Amino acid sequence: MMNITGLRLKNPTILAAGIMGTTGAALIRVAHEGAGAVVTKSIGPQPKDGHNNPSMVKLDHGYLNAMGLPNPSYEAFLPELEKAKNKAGVPVIASIFGGNAEEFRKVAEGLVPGKPDAFELNVSCPHAMGYGASVGTDPSMVKAVTSAVSEITDIPVWVKLTPNVTDIVTIGKAAQEGGADAVVAINTVRGMAIDIHSGYPVLGNRFGGLSGDAVRPVAVKCVYDLYENLDIPIIGVGGISTWQHAVEMIMAGASAIQIGSGVYEGLNVFSDISQGISRFLEEHGYAKTENITGIAHERF
């Protein structure tokens, strides 16, 4: 067992937001497949259809998606959150979004009756106009949004950061100053693909967010930089699909890791990665994951 911002996790693997988190049943299934915790799909103040298809394509080096934050609204999602909380058996983190501090507060207050174990503030989605990175690239907005949610709840508040900024540390510090208990890094990197036969962009939204293998070095560097400058835990995410990837992210400074695109290769990814980390720790004489968190900072 391990402790992240007061949450007890049986292992350091967490389902990332937006992946199989649209229903309580899906969250329960992932938890039972070995995830140490699960994060819901990002939920907002009102129903949202998202972008037109195609909204996700597989590339040689990862995935490109532009979902557009589709969700049924916090009111309609509340029963799904309650279902997950009752049967998942692991911490359930509610990912929420809004266009300003007031909307974030409204959604958080609306989901409190579902008793989430933590909130993850999505200020990093790169392809939803007026939301996500539109908020998360402004340090003052990030601080205000974080404060708005932190003020109305006693549960941990995590802030998911965008890599699509000049300096992610500045945004991380703003979240910390706003009362964040942890930051999650990173969300997808802005990207685009074009069909050379027709000349049309592949995605219905034209551009989207790149995930998978291609973004892992970006994520590792962001986690490394945040670890050097923040006083709160970092949850690393971006291109993790093997235990080796997870160990690398932890050594950069992550206290736990989230898995997104890696789920598409099978839900056994959670147990495979957690078991691989345990074997690595045992073989190298480490008692727990915390013993290798940020170890790369001592190796230069």
The span from the CA of 66 to the CA of 188, in Å, is 10
Token output for 10: 């049986």
The 3-state secondary structure of 60-124 reads: CCEEEECCCCCECCHHHHHHHHHHHHHHCCCCEEEEECCCCHHHHHHHHHHHHHHCCCEEEEECC
The span from the CA of 246 to the CA of 257, in Å, is 7
125 flagged as catalytic: yes
Residue pair 98/43 in contact (Cβ under 8 Å)? The answer is no
The span from the CA of 198 to the CA of 185, in Å, is 36
The span from the CA of 92 to the CA of 40, in Å, is 7
The span from the CA of 297 to the CA of 300, in Å, is 7
The span from the CA of 104 to the CA of 125, in Å, is 15
Residue where the block lists tokens 């690239």? 137
Q: Which of 7, 125, 161, 254 is catalytic?
A: 125
Which sequence positions are flagged as catalytic?
125
